[in-house]
Chain A
Amino acid sequence: SAVISQKPSRDICQRGTSLTIQCQVDSQVTMMFWYRQQPGQSLTLIATANQGSEATYESGFVIDKFPISRPNLTFSTLTVSNMSPEDSSIYLCSVALTTRNEQFFGPGTRLTVL
């Protein structure tokens, strides 16, 4: 397994501003993922972030809205740009550590946009 931390744990932001969420892993990993989750609901994959290449975005998510950085094998950031109340959600990062695609998650960042 891996120990994954996220910052901030929660934030309340104003419409039109941007927030950068950090994800730190205690070991080097190739594959990192960013998800969005409404409380009590399932996870929606935003993008896959591999070190050394550009992030791969899922349908409905674009780089201008959710830019991602992956400067090394232990760290990634997700920025939520030009936020609106519809961006209020929980944002989770995860890493894949095994050949069976098992993923280990950070504690999440709860974002509220006013």
Chain B
Amino acid sequence: TQLLEQSPQFLSIQEGENLTVYCNSSSVFSSLQWYRQEPGEGPVLLVTVVTGGEVKKLKRLTFQFGDARKDSSLHITAAQPGDTGLYLCAGAKVTGGGNKLTFGTGTQLKVEL
């Protein structure tokens, strides 16, 4: 059972559009990470959010951690073809996780010219 549900599962947009990806769970996490993966490569860490309500910006990407630390969102402004990839959220459990991460179901983003 996937504990972290991402939506949408697939997203195909035009260059310049804005988009938001959601990552939802019924579990509380001590931290939540976002990764981007391109074909033929491993996931690359984009950001880690730790505090409930925290907002972090990485150029055109804005990440938010929910107040209750159960959910997160990723907003991309003025998407570019270079943003194309598989976006994965991942949560670290508060206790008993043994340094493991729970990965979300993934969002495949395609940005076209």
Chain A residues whose C-beta falls within 8 Å of the C-beta of B103 in the assembled complex? 42-43
Taken residue by residue from 65 to 83, chain A's Cβ proximity to chain B (1 for < 8 Å, 0 otherwise) reads as: 0000000000000000000
A47 to chain B, nearest CB (A): 10
Q: Does the CB pair A101–B105 fall under 8 Å?
A: no
Chain A residues whose C-beta falls within 8 Å of the C-beta of B98 in the assembled complex? 48, 56
Chain B residues whose C-beta falls within 8 Å of the C-beta of A43 in the assembled complex? 43, 88, 103
A59 to chain B, nearest CB (A): 11
Q: Does the CB pair A42–B104 fall under 8 Å?
A: yes
Q: Does B68 make an interface contact (CB < 8 A)?
A: no
How far does the alpha carbon of A40 sit from the alpha carbon of B10 in the complex, in Å? 10
Q: How large is the interface on A (under 10, 10 to 19, 20 to 34, 35 or more residues)?
A: 20 to 34
Other A-B pairs beyond A4-B42, A40-B106, A56-B98, 8, CB < 8 Å: A42-B103, A43-B103, A48-B98, A100-B92, A101-B99, A102-B48, A103-B45, A105-B42
- B side interface size, CB within 8 A: 27
The answer, among A31, A33, A102, for a CB contact under 8 Å with B33, is: A102
Kindly report which residue of chain A lies nearest to residue B105, judged by CB atoms.
Answer: A42
Q: Does the CB pair B41–A42 fall under 8 Å?
A: no
How far does the alpha carbon of A107 sit from the alpha carbon of B42 in the complex, in Å? 4
